[in-house]
Amino acid sequence: MAFEERRDPESVRTVAVVGTGLIGGGWAAHFLRMGYDVIAYDPGPGAQDRLNALVDRAWPTLKRLGLADGARRDRLGFSDSLTEAVSAGDFVQECVPERLDVKIGVLADIDVAAPDGVVVASSTSGYTMTDMQSACRTPGRFVVGHPFNPPYLIPLVEVVGGRATDPAAVTWADRFYRHAGKTPLVLDRELPGFIANRLQEAQWREALHMVAAGEATVGQIDTAITHGPGLRWALLGPALTSHLAGGHGGMAHMLDQFGPSLHDPLTRLDPPEFTDELRERIVAGCEAAAGGRSVAELEEERDAFLVDLLLLLERHTGRWGRRSAPPHRD
């Protein structure tokens, strides 16, 4: 069944959060910070107390980050009834445990209870919406809204529909999340694990291989990222970082110079076939991401960002390798 918009994304007032563990509680805190009424539901013993404790812990951080007009801690409500919680929501964020059978059943129950035209987003970290919406009567309004922990601080939310999802529901969710202070990333196609989790998982599996083989310790792996590529990725991501590695020739020069190394044993992942078409897509993608900025301009932005980030890192960890004073010279 097609999705029919019930209300404008920017006029949402109440968000229903179903499941209030680490992710659901984090979503609740975020929506409270952005000035929404939140009605939560979780049948687990002690769920309300745990939710209140999570929001209480997060609230000073959220105040420091900045509260939207009307944001108040007391706009959080808790219901003992799924039907009551969902029927009150202008948008539903589902956050139940990551088991496919549970997701299918809960989304079907939400479908029965949610008013017509209300978009329902799942916080799943890997399942496809096609699989999860299989028992829903009105699957057109169901989308994935995958956050990163903690949802009240990390802006990214990956948005994608299933085969039965109406594209208009994806567009609606994109607009809603953007208005709600998130950075939505709408996927071009459905993909298990989405984009960010697949990148994260590839790195994690390589880390496990290195620890298992005695090639690196856990501490070495974390330091390699926090004091290495992770600093640059925070601003540019891996593609534009590599674009700068090509100097004034950018990504095209980098690929031509280092493309053959894709077959070196630098990771346990097999590379795709490096065709001319793939090369052109990567180069064009970097040019689009650069948005007209030259390599020199990007380098200047990167360097200014890294100085700020290194000083911040020093303030929080007390280290990044800077000497306390330069050596004395006569």
- 66 and 173 part of one domain: yes
Structure tokens at 71: 């944001």
- 180 and 92 part of one domain: yes
Does 2 reside within a domain? no
CATH code: domain of residue 93: 3.40.50.720
User: 323: which residues sit within 8 A by CB, 6+ positions away?
Assistant: none
Q: Higher model confidence: residue 272 or residue 26?
A: 26
- 155 and 258 part of one domain: no
User: 226: which residues sit within 8 A by CB, 6+ positions away?
Assistant: 313
What confidence tens digit (pLDDT) does each residue in 270-291 have? 888 889 999 999 999 999 999 9
- 13 and 67 part of one domain: yes
- Percentage above 70 pLDDT, the chain: 96
Residue 8 has pLDDT above 60, yes or no: yes
For residue 319, the model assigns a pLDDT of: 65
Residue 218 has pLDDT above 60, yes or no: yes
Residue 229's pLDDT band, with cuts at 50, 70 and 90, is very high
Residue 327 has pLDDT above 50, yes or no: no
Does 206 reside within a domain? no
**Inter-residue long-range contacts of 70-74, CB under 8 Å, 24+ positions, other chains counted:** 70/35, 71/32, 71/33, 71/34, 71/35, 72/32, 73/32
- 290 and 149 part of one domain: no
- 248 and 153 part of one domain: no
- 98 and 148 part of one domain: yes
Largest interatomic CA distance in the chain: 81
User: What is the rounded CA–CA span in Å between residue 174 and residue 184?
Assistant: 6
Residue 168: alpha-carbon gap to chain centroid: 21
Does 219 reside within a domain? no
Structure tokens at 235: 């601003």
- 141 and 264 part of one domain: no
Which pairing describes strands 91-94 and 76-79: parallel, antiparallel, or unpaired?
unpaired
For residue 255, the model assigns a pLDDT of: 87
Domain count along the chain: 2
- 138 and 14 part of one domain: yes
Is the peptide bond prior to 139 cis by the omega test (within 30 degrees of 0)?
Answer: no
Q: Region 161-181: what's the mean pLDDT?
A: 98
DSSP 8-class letter at 292: T
For residue 72, the model assigns a pLDDT of: 97
- 301 and 167 part of one domain: no
User: 238: which residues sit within 8 A by CB, 6+ positions away?
Assistant: 199, 229
Q: Which domain holds residue 236?
A: 227-317
- 249 and 163 part of one domain: no
Domain boundary among 125, 154, 186: 186
